[in-house]
Amino acid sequence: MHPPSTLEELTSWMNADVGALAPSLEAFIRERARELEREGAILGLSGGIDSAVVAALCARAVGPEKTLALVMPDRDSRREHMKDALDFAGQLGIEAKLIDITPYLRKLRVYRLFFLHRFPLPKKIKAKLAHKAHAYFERKTGKTPFSAGILGAHDSRFDAYLKNCTAYYRIKHRLRMILLYLHAERGNRLVVGAANKTEYRIGFFVKHGIDDAADVMPLLGLYKTQVRELARYLNVPSRIVDKAPSPDIIPGITDEEAIGIPYEKLDLIVLALEKGWETPEVASVLKIDQETVNRVEELTERSAHMRKIYVPEI
C-alpha cells in the first residue's frame, strides 16, 4: 500500500480495527506472561486512558484474579484521577493497591524543588500559578518546559527552574516504577507498561520511569487517538476516555498544554512524518503552520537518546 497523500487517506490509516486489535493484544500479553513464566500481570493505574486500556487488556488476557493494579498518587495528584482508577479497577474486578508516594518524596526532599510548595497555598491556586509560570517560560524562551528539558538544560537564565522542575516530575515516575517492580517480583507478575506511540515518538515520557521500564508495552504501536478508540471498545468509562489527558505530576498542567499541540493534530503529524511526507506537504494537507510540524520533527530528533542506550564500539 502506498503512503497516504491526502487528509482522507491519512485519517483512514489512523483508523484502527479495534475488534481485531483487542484480542491480538490480549494474546500478546498472555503469551509473554507464559514465555517469561509469570503468574499474572501488574500495572500502574493512574485514572488516565492509557493505563485504563492496559488494565482492561490484562484482565482479559490473564484473568482479573491474576491482575494487580497499583494506584500511586502523591500530594499533587487530583483526587478525581485516583477515584477513577479505583472505580475502574472495581468495575474490572481486579485487585488494586493504593500507595501514597508522598512520604517517599518528602523523605527525598523532592517537594523543596518545586517553588510553589514553599508556600501553604490551596491546590487550585497552585494550579493557576503553575499555568502562569508555564506560559511565562514559553513566552520568554519560545519553548515549553517539556521540550526545553528533553536535552540537558544549560546556558539559560531559567536553568535552575528547568533543572529543578525536570528533577521534580521525573522522580515521581521513577519511584512509581520501583514500587511497581517491587510488587511484580514479590508476586512473580509481568510488568505491563502503558506508553503509546505518539508520546514515545516525541519523548513525552520519563526514561526509566513507569511508562518506559516494563516487561511488555502493548500500546507502543498505537497512536493516542487509536488508544481512545480501543478504550471505547473495551468499555472504559466515558469519564476516563473524554477527560483531558494529564501527567498529574505538576498541579493543573495537562498533556496538551505541556506538549503544545492537541493529540488529534499531533497524531496526524507524527503519522505523516513517519510515512515520509515533507514538512510543507504535512502543513498544507493538515492546514497548520510549518513551525508546528518543525516542532514535532525537533521533538522526535531531540528525544532520540531516550529511546536507546549508548554503547561504545569495541
Please write the tens of the pLDDT for every residue from 185-209.
Answer: 999 999 999 999 999 999 999 999 9
Find residue 98's DSSP bridge partners: 71
Cβ-based neighbours of 91, under 8 Å, separated by 6 or more: 237
| Backbone φ/ψ region at 200: left (φ over 0), alpha (ψ -120 to 50), beta | alpha
The DSSP code for 16 is: -
Q: Find the angle CA(55)-CA(60)-CA(63) to the nearest 5 degrees.
A: 95
Residues of the chain with pLDDT under 50: 1-2
d(CA 273, CA 122): 43
Residues 7-305, CATH architecture: 3-Layer(aba) Sandwich (3.40)
pTM assigned to the model: 0.92
d(CA 169, CA 279): 32
C-beta separation of 203 from 259 below 8 A: no
The runs of H, that is alpha helices, within the chain are 7-14, 18-35, 49-62, 79-92, 102-107, 123-141, 145-148, 159-187, 197-202, 224-233, 238-242, 255-259, 263-274, 279-286, 290-302
Please write the tens of the pLDDT for every residue from 198-249.
Answer: 999 999 999 999 989 999 999 999 999 999 999 999 999 999 999 988 877 7
Which grid cell sits at 185? Answer: 517480583
Domain boundaries, the chain: 7-305
